[in-house]
Amino acid sequence: MVSREFADARENRPDARSAMNRHNNEAGRMAILDHMHLKCKCHGLSGSCEVKTCWWSQPDFRVIGDYLKDKYDSASEMIVEKHRESRGWVETLTPKYTLFKAPTERDLVYYDPSPNFCNPNPATGSFGTRHRKCNITSHGIDGCELLCCGRGHDTRTEKRREKCHCIFHWCCHVSCQECTRIYSVHTCK
């Protein structure tokens, strides 16, 4: 398979990162294969289907992205084991929690936990999310619930002077009034 030769070409080292990348690359390939679908087109006079051409089509990028995001959220944590083989020391991955089902070739795996961006961490360059503005109505990553990492948020009002009631005058200038608007600003605790 061309994708295996291309994506896994640099993942031939006997270390844990290469093993993880090879596993996750295969999970990505399986995701695409599992979501392939048959498309057909009819040929003939006036739309008759005298000849039908069909082919396998890849899924939309968004479909695969959403699917892999779900897999990412439920990825299996692994531990690195070192053992000696004829070619030298080799690192392999085994599930950290043996009570859970072992990951299949369709599951994503990791061995190094992601950094926690909720709190400041000079080593990763993260300033944390304290005092960050958040969107109280959003359920996405900019929403107060997610961005504030469950710590809650503060709300304050701000008065801003803005241009308003602008009118275009022929030819060629715009005149505006200045209005004071009050906004609610939400920031993470």
Q: Are residues 75 and 103 in the same domain?
A: yes
Boundary-marking domain end, from 114, 131, 156: 114
How far is the C-alpha of 184 from the C-alpha of 182, rounded, in Å?
7
The residue with greater pLDDT, 13 or 53, is 53
Full residue range of the structural domain in which residue 21 is found: 1-114
Is the four-CA dihedral 67, 73, 74, 78 of positive or negative sign?
positive
Q: Are residues 142 and 90 in the same domain?
A: no
Place of tokens 């950094």: 115
pLDDT at 114: 79
| 175: CATH | 3.30.2460.20
Mean pLDDT value of segment 155-179: 91
Tally of domains in the chain: 2
Q: Are residues 108 and 166 in the same domain?
A: no
The DSSP output letter for 138 is: -
Boundary-marking domain end, from 65, 85, 114: 114
Q: Are residues 135 and 186 in the same domain?
A: yes
| % of the chain surpassing 90 pLDDT | 57
Q: What is the pLDDT of residues 118-158, one digit of tens each?
A: 989 888 888 999 999 999 999 888 899 999 998 999 999 99
Q: Are residues 133 and 87 in the same domain?
A: no
Single-letter code of the amino acid located at 66: D
Return the SS3 of 86.
Answer: coil
pLDDT at 9: 75
Using pLDDT thresholds of 50, 70 and 90, give the confidence band for residue 109.
Answer: very high
Q: What is the pLDDT of residues 56-101, one digit of tens each?
A: 999 999 999 999 999 998 999 999 999 888 778 888 898 998 888 8
Q: Are residues 158 and 138 in the same domain?
A: yes
Q: Are residues 33 and 97 in the same domain?
A: yes
Q: Are residues 184 and 95 in the same domain?
A: no
Q: Are residues 15 and 108 in the same domain?
A: yes
Confidence check: pLDDT of 165 > 80: yes
Is the four-CA dihedral 133, 137, 140, 146 of positive or negative sign?
positive
pLDDT at 1: 66
Boundary-marking domain end, from 114, 149, 179: 114
- Helix (H) or strand (E) holding 18, with range, is helix 16-34
> Mean of the per-residue pLDDT values for the chain?
89
Mean pLDDT value of segment 49-60: 91
| % of the chain surpassing 70 pLDDT | 99
Q: Are residues 108 and 126 in the same domain?
A: no
Q: Are residues 82 and 98 in the same domain?
A: yes
Helix H, strand E, coil C: the string for 89-107 is EEEEEEECCCCCCCCCCCC
pLDDT at 171: 81
